[in-house]
Structure 1
Amino acid sequence: MAKSGKRLEELVEEVAAPHAAALGLELVGVELVKEGANRYLRVYIDKEGGVGFDDCEALSRVVDARLDEILPDPPYEFFEVSSPGLERPLKREEDFARYAGHKVAVTTYAPVDGQKSFVGELIGLIDGRVTLRLTEGKSQGQTVALDRKQVASARLHVDF
């Protein structure tokens, strides 16, 4: 927990969002992850046409300095700002609206009808349910509506 009692990710979003907006960037999300022995605090940004190194560096400089002020003993070893990548996570209601019609991969915390992974065309977030038309697996062509509280992860899906 951060000093204010807020989750670290929420605190970082509050710090980063106005700076991202001032730079013409969209704050996609924040995550704290453990990789090996290290913890990484990652801020994901985007903009029309995609982000570049200069965008990441500009936001990193200002947010990292501000976090140093408010978190003198941070619960992470590394701070990064980057693009969300091709398989962008979908977290906010706006994400589900914006990417309706796109192929997504959704995983759930517990099995739903015997499965935890779903790939299909995103219809949208309807009445608190992530709704998609399945494009893979034995249920291909069927529509599934997953309660948002059941969803562990939702990302754009790219076929390579």
Structure 2
Amino acid sequence: MNRKGIISIVKEICEQLADELGYELVDVEFLKEGSNYFLRVYLDKPGGINLDDCQKVSQLLSDKLDEKDPITTPYYLEVSSPGLDRPLKNDKDLKRNLGKEIEIKLYEPLKGKKIIEGILEDYEEKTIVIRTEINEIVTIPKEGIALIKLAVKF
């Protein structure tokens, strides 16, 4: 089975498990790093995911994957929180983070910058709207965005 097919099956299983446990499935990745394959599942919940949550999902998911057996090559299963600087990949992520400070990396410079930070004001099917620190409203076409993530300040 190809990578997209594996991810699709794993997402379906994970969404069911996450719903049953009150978690949110954030992302699923199936990657080859060096000579090893990794199946990574990222979960979240209000208040954050902890190690016990990850262990519980890992065991339940491992059992379900053993039943369905969609992955024929040996792999490592990793279940974790997406982290503070996780990418915002879909409208659900954007909606949850309205009003928060984000960082956008662009493929091509906009107004001389390839990285723009600001408060996520709005989003639509094809655009992201942010308010920069100088109170400028900037509308960015999604097709020009390489990455959107929460801005982490220390």
TM-score range, shorter chain: 0.7 to 0.9
Give the conservation status (yes or no) of the 8 Å contact 2:104–2:148.
yes
Normalised by the length of structure 1, the TM-score is: 0.80
Match for residue 73 of structure 1? 72
1:111 corresponds to 2:108: yes
Structure 2 unaligned runs (5+)?
A: none
Give the conservation status (yes or no) of the 8 Å contact 2:42–2:81.
yes
1:59 corresponds to 2:60: no
Identical residues among aligned pairs (%): 36
Match for residue 145 of structure 1? 139
Q: 1:96–1:63: structure 2 CA closer, same or farther, 3 Å change rule?
A: same
| CA displacement, residues 114-147 of structure 1 (integer Å, 9 cap, x when unaligned) | 4332221111213421221223xxxx54322222
How many residue pairs are counted as aligned between the two chains? 152
Normalised by the length of structure 2, the TM-score is: 0.83
**Which of 63-72 and 20-29 deviates more?**
63-72
The one-letter amino acid paired with 2:53 is D
Match for residue 148 of structure 2? 154
| CA displacement, residues 85-138 of structure 1 (integer Å, 9 cap, x when unaligned) | 112321221211121110111223x20424332221111213421221223xxx
Which secondary structure state, in structure 2, belongs to the residue aligned with residue 94 of structure 1?
A: helix
Give the conservation status (yes or no) of the 8 Å contact 1:2–1:11.
no
1:2 corresponds to 2:2: yes
Q: 1:48–1:145: structure 2 CA closer, same or farther, 3 Å change rule?
A: same
Following TM superposition, the consecutive aligned residue runs of length 4 or more in structure 1 with deviations greater than 3 angstroms are: 32-39
Residue 9 of structure 1: how far off its partner (Å) = 2.8
Which secondary structure state, in structure 2, belongs to the residue aligned with residue 87 of structure 1?
A: coil
Q: What's the Cα RMSD here?
A: 2.3
